[in-house]
Structure 1
Amino acid sequence: MLFVLLIVYYFCLPKKLFKDPTATIITSQSNELLGALIADDGQWRFPANNTVPEKFKTCILQFEDEYFYQHPGFNPVSIFKALKDNLSSGSVKRGGSTLTQQVIRLSRKGQSRTYFEKLKELILATRLEFRLSKDDILNLYASHAPFGGNVVGIDAASWRYFNRNASNLSWAESATLAVLPNAPSLIYPGKNQERLLEKRNRLLKKLFKNGTIDELTYELSIAENLPQKPYPLPQIAPHLLQKVAKKNRGERIKTTISIELQEQTNALVKQHYDLLKQNEIHNLSVLVLDVKTREVLTYIGNSPTDKTHQNSVDIIDKPRSTGSILKPFLYAAMLDAGDLLPNTLVADVPTQFGSYQPENYNQTYDGAVKANEALSRSLNVPMVRMLKEFGLDRFYHYLKALQLKDLKYNANHYGLSLILGGAESNLWDLCKSYASMASTLNHFNSNSSQYFTNEFSQPIYNSNETVDFGKLTSEKGVFDAASIFLTFESMKQVNRPESDESWNYYDSSQEIAWKTGTSFGFRDAWAIGTTKDYVVGVWVGNADGEGRPGLVGVQTAAPIMFDVFDLLPKSEWFAKPYDEMLEVSICKKSGYRASPVCDVTELKYIQTSGKKTEPCPFHKLVHVNASGHYQVNSSCEDISNITNTSWFVLPPLQAYYFKNKNPFYKPLPPFRIDCTESSRISMEFIYPNQQSTIYLPKGFDGKTNEFILKVAHSKPELEIHWYIDSNYIGSTKDIHDLAVLPEPGKHIITIVDELGNELKHHITVSE
């Protein structure tokens, strides 16, 4: 019998006393409360904490169970006194339960308060004393005691009634909460205030008399007001709270968020939102990452807008059109593959690929522009031409290596518009990629020129996690360190917003590699920047995809990004990865590796893979007469009078636009009239493009106006003859522009110069 009773006693207590759902709680890296999501049963019940605040512990023991640390789970003296008082009065006047017994009663919800139930509580209380320490039992009580309304536990009560952490409560506040579980109905605002005040002050007086608090503390404590209306819980990072709740619902998660930076950024976002909403731009998101640890320091999923404008949507992980934000990846990929050098001239001329005709934002052309300048100025046409030259599939392979999860289709689905916003991505993946590139460069310079195998890993927001960068290896991950460094050097030159144009004149300003993006139709504005230590990403727009005039990355997103960077500690610029670079002679005018005929060269550090790029194709050796005004050759000039000169020559179409913005560009001098010309002649259409459709404009008088045909010729002094569908329409010399008014329909434009060189273009004319 005894053995059976012992077995029953051993197993009488459930392994888990409390199975109630708990609220989802997130705290900062320094344990401040960032936000809470109410439990599934509608109760504010925080997950159990490991410790009980000392003031509350003292108060609850003095009020409920002075001999808690001495009794075995029940107090015989208290039980005897309670039994005596209840029998003499004929009703239940006094409970006599210890805190251990109250923990058992709280776990056995809905049980009637009978003497038989009290006996079961007593037995279970002694069993609980064998299982847990006194401090653990006290912690169970503090975590599950009712504090009025739908508030359960000391942690939830301290925030709801005093708007602070339980460890920061005063003696009066701790005493108030200590008396509440005994009569939780006293807390209703405006009711029972006198009874609650009496209970609290009686406990404070007891603390004063036993020497726990001094007289001054006692006087100040009884002068404190009682709590009135419950406070709303902090919502400092509400969208991160929702993200955490998807995987860790009902848990307390200590995040990597810096509460100071989060709150300061929240204030910045509110300021910018108040301005943006005047232009009916209602949503924005901000993400800040620590490059070294890959920790999320700030997470703002949306602006403080209203429900109508989808304030609950977390936009950080939502796919949006990328605009130009992918351009640095193409630039880095071409450097990494050895297809480009930073100062290499790339074509910036009217371009058409089938029906696709990219245009620069300002709808002008430079003819030829340095590759790094094409990136820093975010010129569309050069970048599309670079993508075409590099190969769509090759670039797509690099993007997949960056683990951009919203690239769900194959490369041909996106086409060349991939580089201008034809694809979608999200702020999380893009910031991760920029942080990984910065981290790759940092690790290469600090680990004897080696790479980590898992550099492009996901950021973390749970402080209990750490990023595993993998093992050190001599093999690069996605981009080599030199290509990343040269990309960041180019991004550093991006023109800043108007309010920050003179940044480089201030000693306190910091160097930032950054890029903006604007999607088609002004629906998405991006700005992402990185330093050696931090990445800041900003998206601005409307969650429903509505475009707005002025919704441009450099005007809306970039100012927010720079304001956030101003909140962060200043960073030094990246160290140059010399082991992945080599010093070579570069043609100063073209940016290519210098050929023997380049007239002006300079030594530059380039990526190692860049040594396979071709020498400068734009410098040629030209034979001129003594004055230098004419080209000559042995057919018309004595060899002793011929001077060999290096000449910078661009293709005709590039030269046509280049000379408009570069007044010192000198076209080749013409051949002297008595010379036999043997050099190759070239000509190109400036307008219209091949296979393009021309819409004839109409004037105010209703008449259809002509449009202008334009051609660039390497020797403009030659006469060009023009034909439409084999019908001769005129000739030009020096300036090859011709106004025409063809019938609607398809036509073939043919040009023939006086040396017999011919060029054809197919166009469609429409009214």
Structure 2
Amino acid sequence: MDVVKVVWTNLGRLVRLALIVGVGIATLTATVAVAAPHLADISKAHRFELEGITLQPLSERSYVYDSQGNLIATFVDDENRVQVDIEDVPRPVLDSILTAEDSSFYSHKGVNARSIGRAFTANIESGGVAQGGSTITQQVVKNAIDERDQDFTRKVREAVLAVELEEDYTKDEILEYYINTIYFGSGAYGVQAAAETYFNKDVADLNWAEGAMLGGIIRCPTSCDPLNSKSRALARRNTVLDALVTTGRLARPEADLSKFAPLPEESFRPEEPEDYFVEEVKKELLADERLGSTPTARFNRVYGGGLRVYTTLDQEMYLEALESRDATLPGNNGDATFTLPPAPNGASRIGTAAMAGVEPGTGAVRFIVGGPGFDRYQYDLALGDQRAVGSTFKPFVLAQAFLDGYSPEDTVSGIAPCGEVGYKDSEEQPGNYGGSRGSVDTLRDQTTRSSNCAFLRLNQIVGPQKVADLAHNMGITSDLSPDAPSMPLGPNGVSPLDMASAYSVFANDGVRNDPYFIDRVEDADGDILFAHQAAPRRVIPEQVARLVTDVLEDNVESGTGTNARIGRPAAGKTGTTNGPSDVWFVGYVPQLSVSVWMGGTSDNRPLSGEFSSATGGKYPARTWGDFMAKATDGLPVAGFIPPEPTDGGEYLCFPSERRRCR
């Protein structure tokens, strides 16, 4: 047996009592007198500096909102916390916490001599520290200095610092910090997160039974968590209810009635949604050095910085896009996929659709449909760069021709075959879709019938590098390989978002706005940390944009895009790759530019079987039309500004032809 325990046990009761009182008073008096000069200042913004040790501002979960200010996501780290003002916390919660943890909080000066005496007795009898006796103020100090060892030196230091803390702060300020700091089990820090976690309520709506349960958890947040041990949680709650009666804070009948209230059966921790748009927002935040110079710092800021992130998402438009996709997707299995014949190795294959919508006048990304569901297919097909765009690339060639002074009514040969554009004799010679021989016709008509040979020749006439540079300037971010003669028929590796963004330049009279997902980011106090800065720039003249739009309007009305007609001015282009493996429609109205892609999710193999006849005009154009009709319903009918009249009728000859070139 420990020598101290033996001696102590054999001392008489009166001798022990005298020693406890004497030592307790002497210790408290000497401690405060000697240690007080060593206290550091305590900052007023939730930042406590105690003898060189700093407690950073409390972590708090961050929120993500759509363009209308509706909550769409919550980013939570290991400390699920929402800070609240003390005036927003009701009596059942505050009184329960005070009763359970520090009933005389508003009357002592930081330490409670009576509690210290009780703890001192228990500690001497145990030969160590067996009982705390800490006030709420001391608990705040303990969390600030974060010393885990329970020895007498630490307890003395806590007492000294608690006295100094109460000189610098009001009682309400200390209590507010405490109720936002303390751990309530199940990952909940602070009373607001605890109210949500256990009761799925705002803390302001908690009753006496609920407040007493929270007050009882504080001393044993794991073992008294009702989700871990109902019996212990019930006992602690009822103990607090009885104590509330004893202290005069609650009437006995109401306390007894509260004991019949059921305990929580489940937790309600906010989960990060499995969503393509939110995932992109998260990626951008975690990469933004304005939120921290290191990945760790940015993670802590995003998940624990109490940020308010306002995005460009239009939820109504997004839901309409999902509805249109599901309604028009061929062979829909009910989960936004269609079944394709197995791969040669026997692997199963599925197809799906992706969409992106961009506001031409701002660049705001209003929605993305990244695939059949983020929970089952986490690669974002709307932002991924693994797809060939087919003939939706032809408008960039057309725009370069207009930049060079050509007219929609100038003519070019679309006669097949057209291998002279740069194909080797050993290569498969290019032709027109469906084996059409083609003809010599205007650029307008060659566009509406989507003549491959006409655009392969036109690309060489205006210059492939110039076309690639223009496409890049308009928003295509991937490598376009201008040396490949097939570029006008659709380069590989272009995303639906890039296509919607690039076409928005046509819709916006030649002015580009870079696409963006985040409108602004605020801190927990509502101060703006940073906001999107518009940087519009002209990339093509108004006349060129209007000429392209004029041609693409005809394509919707009478060309390959007739399934996209919506009863109001619209412009767009279909795209169908070899196989086909990818089918597209990209189009716009003055207010919105939207791309629709359909294809296999895992490879670029042809859409064989019943989908072997798929084209951009057959499926994606239908999806686009169905969606755009919903998205523009109720909006004023807006037309495109027509281009200035142009001269036309000249023949654009390929250098190898035996006719006079322009």
Q: Are residues 1:255 and 2:310 paired?
A: yes
1:45 corresponds in structure 2 to 79
More divergent stretch after superposition (88-97 vs 177-186): 88-97
- Partners of 1:405 and 1:112 lie apart in 2 by 57
Identify the structure with the greater strand proportion: 1
SS in 2 for 1:326: helix
Q: Which residue of 2 aligns with 1:457?
A: 514
- Could you say if the C-alpha distance between residues 335 and 185 of structure 1 is closer, same or farther in structure 2, counting changes exceeding 3 Å? same
Structure-to-structure mapping, 1:121-520, within 5 angstroms? 121-125=158-162, 141=178, 144-153=181-190, 157=194, 160-161=197-198, 166=202, 171=207, 177=214, 179-186=216-223, 191-197=228-234, 226-228=264-266, 233-237=271-275, 239-240=279-280, 242-244=282-284, 246-247=286-287, 248-250=298-300, 251=302, 252-256=307-311, 257-262=313-318, 265=321, 274-279=335-340, 280-282=349-351, 284-304=353-373, 311-320=377-386, 321-341=388-408, 343-350=409-416, 351-353=418-420, 354-355=422-423, 357-407=429-479, 409=481, 411-412=482-483, 414-415=484-485, 417-440=486-509, 455-464=512-521, 465-470=530-535, 477-495=538-556, 510-520=568-578
C-alpha separation in 1, matches of 2:584 and 2:171: 56
Tell me the secondary structure at the aligned position of residue 249 of structure 1.
helix
Deviation, 1:349, is 1.5
Q: d(CA) in 2 for partners of 1:14 and 1:567?
A: 61
Amino acid at match of 2:383: D
After superposition, the Cα gap between the structure-2 partners of 1:555 and 1:158, relative to the gap in structure 1 and judged at 3 Å, is: farther
CA contact (8 A) 1:339 1:390 kept: no
- Where structure 2 has 5 or more consecutive residues not aligned to the other structure, the ranges are 1-31, 42-48, 288-297, 341-348, 522-529
Equivalent residue, structure 1, for 2:631 = 568
The change in CA–CA distance for 1:502 and 1:19 in structure 2 (over 3 A counts) is closer
1:637 aligned residue = none
User: Aligned letter for 2:158?
Assistant: E
> 2:23 is matched with which residue?
none
- Alignment correspondent of 1:527: 585
- CA distance in 2 between partners of 1:13 and 1:340 (Å): 78
- How far, CA to CA, are the matches of 2:593 and 2:168 in structure 1? 49
State the alpha-carbon separation in 2 of the partners of residues 49 and 333 from structure 1: 55
Residue 358 of structure 1 deviates from its aligned partner by: 2.8
Q: Quick one: distance in 2 between partners of 1:553 and 1:534?
A: 19
1:463 aligned counterpart, secondary structure: strand
Q: Residues 50 and 144 of structure 2 are in contact (CA less than 8 Å); yes or no, is this contact kept in structure 1?
A: no
SS at match of 1:254: strand
| 1:117 is aligned to 2:184 | no
Tell me if the contact between 1:74 and 1:100 (Cα under 8 Å) persists in the aligned partners.
no
Higher deviation after alignment, 245-254 or 168-177: 168-177
Give the deviation of 1:319 after TM superposition.
1.5
Mapped partners of 1:96, 1:403: distance in 2: 66
Give the aligned residue type for 2:589. Answer: T
CA distance, structure 2, for counterparts of residue 212 and residue 297 of structure 1: 53
**CA offset digits 1:538-557 (Å, max 9, x no partner):** 44434432423336444554
More contact order relative to length (CA 8 Å, sep ≥ 6): 2
Tell me the distance in 2 between the aligned counterparts of 1:418 and 1:372.
Answer: 20
Per the alignment, residue 82 of structure 1 pairs with 115
Q: 1:437 to 1:360 in 2, by over 3 A?
A: same
Residues 1:375 and 1:86: Cα distance change in structure 2 (over 3 Å): same
Structure 1 residues 289 and 615, CA gap change in structure 2 (3 angstroms): closer
Contact 2:477–2:498 (Cα < 8 Å) also in 1: yes
Letter in 2 for 1:111: R
The DSSP-based 3-state class of the residue aligned with 1:327 is helix
How far off its partner does 1:459 sit? 1.9
* Alignment partners' CA distance in 2, 1:349 and 1:234: 55
Between the aligned residues of both structures, percent identity stands at: 18
2:339 counterpart SS class: helix
Q: Does 1:537 align with 2:600?
A: no
Q: Deviations over 1:264-310 (max 9, x none)?
A: 65676677572523333355443333334433333444432676xxx
How many residues end up aligned between the 2 structures? Answer: 558
The alignment yields a C-alpha RMSD, in angstroms, of 5.1
Q: Which residue matches 1:102?
A: 139
1:535–1:134: structure 2 CA closer, same or farther, 3 Å change rule? Answer: farther
1:17: Cα distance to partner?
A: 1.1
Contact 1:59 1:203 in 2 (8 A): no
Distance across 2 between alignment mates of 1:263 and 1:161: 31
CA distance in 2, matches of 1:344, 1:176: 81
Say which SS state the counterpart of residue 528 (structure 1) adopts. strand
Q: Distance in 2 between the 1:261 and 1:220 partners?
A: 47
TM-score by length of 1: 0.59
Shift of 1:212: 11
Cα distance, 1:235 vs. partner?
Answer: 0.8
Q: Which has a greater percent of helix? A: 2
Within 5 Å, which residues of 2 pair with 1:20-99?
26-29=64-67, 33-36=71-74, 39=77, 44-46=78-80, 49=82, 51-52=84-85, 56=89, 58-65=91-98, 75-76=108-109, 79-86=112-119, 97-99=134-136
Deviation at 1:420, TM superposition (A): 1.2
The 1-side partners of 2:184 and 2:76 are apart by 15
Q: Which amino acid aligns with 1:249?
A: F
String of CA shifts for 1:415-445, please: whole Å, max 9, x gaps.
3x1111234322333333233443446xxxx
Contact preservation (8 Å) 2:61, 2:82: no
User: Which residue identity does 1:461 align to in structure 2?
Assistant: I
On the 8 A contact 2:68/2:314 being kept in 1, the answer is: yes
Q: CA deviation at 1:146?
A: 2.4
Q: Distance in 1 between matches of 2:176 and 2:617?
A: 53
Aligned to 2:40: 9
In structure 1, how many angstroms separate the alpha carbons of the residues matched to 2:411 and 2:63?
A: 55
Alpha-carbon shift at residue 406 of structure 1 (Å): 1.2
Q: Is the 8 A contact 1:74 1:98 kept in 2?
A: no
Specify whether residues 456 and 19 from structure 1 end up closer, same or farther in structure 2 by C-alpha distance, changes over 3 A only. Answer: same
Partners of 2:615 and 2:86 in 1: CA distance: 51
Kindly state the Cα deviation for residue 398 of structure 1 after the two structures are TM-superposed.
1.0
CA contact (8 A) 2:583 2:616 kept: yes
User: In terms of Rg, which structure is larger?
Assistant: 1
Q: CA deviation at 1:119?
A: 3.6
Deviation at 1:111, TM superposition (A): 1.1
Counterpart secondary structure, 1:537: strand
Q: Is the 8 A contact 1:317 1:427 kept in 2?
A: yes
1:34–1:237 contact (8 Å) kept in structure 2 = no
**How far apart, CA to CA, are the structure 2 residues paired with 1:29 and 1:204?**
45
AA matched with 1:535: S
Q: 1:188 to 1:63 in 2, by over 3 A?
A: closer
Deviations 1:445-492 (A, max 9, x none): xxxxxx7xxx44342424235444458xxxx82122233233234334
Helix, strand or coil: the match of 2:472?
helix
For residue 391 of structure 2, give the secondary structure of its aligned residue in structure 1.
coil
